[in-house]
Chains A and B, each alone.
Chain A
Amino acid sequence: MYAAVRINEIICIGCKKCIYACPDPNVLSFDEETRKVSADESRCKGCGLCVSECPKDAMSIY
Chain B
Amino acid sequence: MNTWINKPTRALEEFLQTEYQNLLGNGPFSEGNGFEKLGTYKEIIEEHSHCAGCGVALGIRLAMAALPSPKDTFIVGTPGCSFFSLSQAAVNYSNTAFGNQNAVASGLKRMLSIRHPGEAKDVVVLVGDGGIADIGLDMTLHSWFRGEKITTIMVDNELYGNTGGQESGMSPQGRIMNMAPTGKKFPKIPIYDMAKQSGCCYTAKVAVSNPKALADSVRKAIILAREIGPTYVQIYTPCPTNLKVPSHQTLKMAREAEKGYYGFEEFLSSEGEKFLDAMR
Please say whether chains A and B are actual partners in one complex.
yes
Q: Which residues of B have CB within 8 Å of A53?
A: 251
Which residue of A25, A43, A52 contacts B248 across the interface (Cβ within 8 Å)? A52
CB-defined contacts of B54 to chain A, threshold 8 Å: 23, 47
Q: A43 CA to B57 CA in the complex, in Å? A: 14
Distance from B203 Cβ to chain A, minimum over Cβ atoms (Å): 23
Query: Is B7 engaged at the interface, CB distance under 8 Å to the other chain?
Result: no
Are B211 and A20 in contact, CB atoms less than 8 angstroms apart?
Answer: yes
Tell me the A residues contacting B by CB distance below 8 Å: 16, 19-26, 28-30, 32, 37, 43, 45-49, 51-53
Q: Take A45-B52, A47-B52, A53-B251 as given contacts and tell me if A23 and B57 are in contact as well, using a CB distance cutoff of 8 Å.
A: yes
Determine if A23 and B248 form an interchain contact, defined as CB atoms under 8 angstroms apart. no
Asked if B184 is at the interface of the complex by the 8 Å CB criterion, the answer is no
A52 partner residues in chain B, CB cutoff 8 A: 248-249, 251-252
* Chain B count of residues within 8 A CB distance of the other chain: 29
- How distant is A39 from chain B, measured CB to nearest CB, in Å? 11
The residue in chain A whose Cβ has the minimal distance to the Cβ of B89 is A25
B45 in contact with A25 (CB, 8 Å): yes
Of A19, A20, A23, A46, most buried by chain B (CB within 10 Å of CB) is: A23
Q: Which residues of B contact A20 (CB under 8 A)?
A: 38, 62, 211
In the complex, what residues of B have CB within 8 A of residue A24's CB?
A: 47-48, 50, 57, 61
Asked whether, in the complex, the Cβ of A49 is within 8 Å of the Cβ of B39, the reply is no
Interface residues of B in 52-79 (CB under 8 A from A): 52-55, 57-58, 61-62
B53 engages A49 (CB within 8 Å): yes
Compute the total of residue contacts between A and B using a CB distance below 8 Å: 72
0/1 interface trace, chain B 248-262, chain A, CB 8 Å (1 if under): 111110000000000
Is B43's CB within 8 Å of the partner chain A?
A: yes
> Other than the known A24-B57, A47-B53, A48-B53, what 14 A-B pairs have Cβ atoms closer than 8 Å?
A19-B38, A20-B211, A22-B58, A23-B54, A23-B57, A25-B47, A32-B40, A45-B52, A47-B250, A49-B58, A49-B248, A52-B248, A52-B251, A53-B251
B38: nearest residue on chain A (CB-CB)?
A: A19
Given A20-B38, A20-B211, A23-B53, decide whether A48 and B62 contact each other with a Cβ distance below 8 A: no
Whose C-beta in chain B lies nearest to the C-beta of A61? B248
CA of A9 to CA of B262, assembled, Å: 35
In the complex, B42 has a CB within 8 A of chain A? yes
Among A25, A43, A53, the most chain B Cβ lie within 10 Å of the Cβ of A25
Cβ of A45: which chain B residues have Cβ within 8 Å of it?
51-53
Q: How far is the CA of A53 from the CA of B252 in the complex (A)?
A: 9
Contact sample, A vs B, 18 pairs, CB 8 Å cutoff: A16-B39, A19-B38, A20-B38, A21-B251, A23-B50, A23-B52, A23-B53, A25-B43, A25-B85, A26-B46, A26-B47, A28-B39, A37-B39, A43-B47, A46-B52, A47-B53, A49-B53, A49-B248
